[in-house]
Amino acid sequence: MSKVRKIIKVLAKKASGLDRKAKLAEMKKGLMALDLVRMQDCLAGTFPRISRDNIDAVGVLLDRASVRR
């Protein structure tokens, strides 16, 4: 769970200065970019820096937040 918090913290910091809905959209784009990096690492045969479970957990949290807004 600590990695999930770190990922959310980084995504929120990169999307700062926007209103709530725009911030969520920007955080989803950043999460997609992280997932692409993870997939590239898997294809290259190296150990992925971020696990798929963490990416999925962050995605669920962002989806819940978008429904509430």
Could you give the CA distance from residue 24 to residue 2 in angstroms, rounded to a whole number?
20
Q: Which of 51, 65, 66 is nearest to 7 (CA)?
A: 51
pTM: 0.85
Domain that holds residue 62: 2-68
**pLDDT tens-place string over residues 15-66:** 999 998 999 999 999 999 999 999 998 888 888 788 899 999 999 999 999 8
The band of 69, judged by pLDDT with boundaries at 50, 70 and 90, is low
Total domains present in the chain: 1
Q: What is the mean pLDDT of residues 8-19?
A: 92
